[in-house]
Amino acid sequence: MAPLPDYPTLEELNDFFGHDRFAASIGCRIVEGSVGHGVAELAIEDHHRNALGNVMGGAIFTLADFALAIASNVGEGPGVSVNSAIDYYTASKGAKLFATCNVDKSGRRLGFYTTDITDDEGKRIARMTTTVCRVG
């Protein structure tokens, strides 16, 4: 598969990342992406909720990881996460989550990224920091 340009169209992003079957299976959608930047969203449905009625941490992590994949693979050689840490701040009362990932530093072999997860009510839900290794 050919690498993505630095500023791909939404169609190019969906063609490239459409093979991420797990993120798609839970409802993650691409909003935008460019070099070092990715935004994804998730409409919260009942199957995303845990026994307490809150959005499952795994669903939030998956959304954040999907935004990371966009930010770390657009205009760069292929990269995979080697370490991620996520802090959950509060439960969402909204209907949709957004994950916005931005590069902190990208080098030849390693990249460092921060992903902020918010809801459609403007609440900060979580933050994930990730180290990516370039494998290509």
Assess contact for 128 and 115: CB atoms under 8 A: yes
Cβ contact 71:128 at 8 Å: no
Write out the two tokens for 92: 């969402």
pLDDT at 114 over 80: yes
| pTM of the predicted protein model | 0.95
CATH superfamily of 10-134: Hotdog Thioesterase (3.10.129.10)
Helix axes 57-73, 10-17, angle to 10 degrees: 120
Neighbour count for residue 5 (Cβ, 10 Å): 12
| Tens digits of residue pLDDT in 38-93 | 999 999 999 999 999 999 999 999 999 999 999 999 988 889 999 999 999 999 99
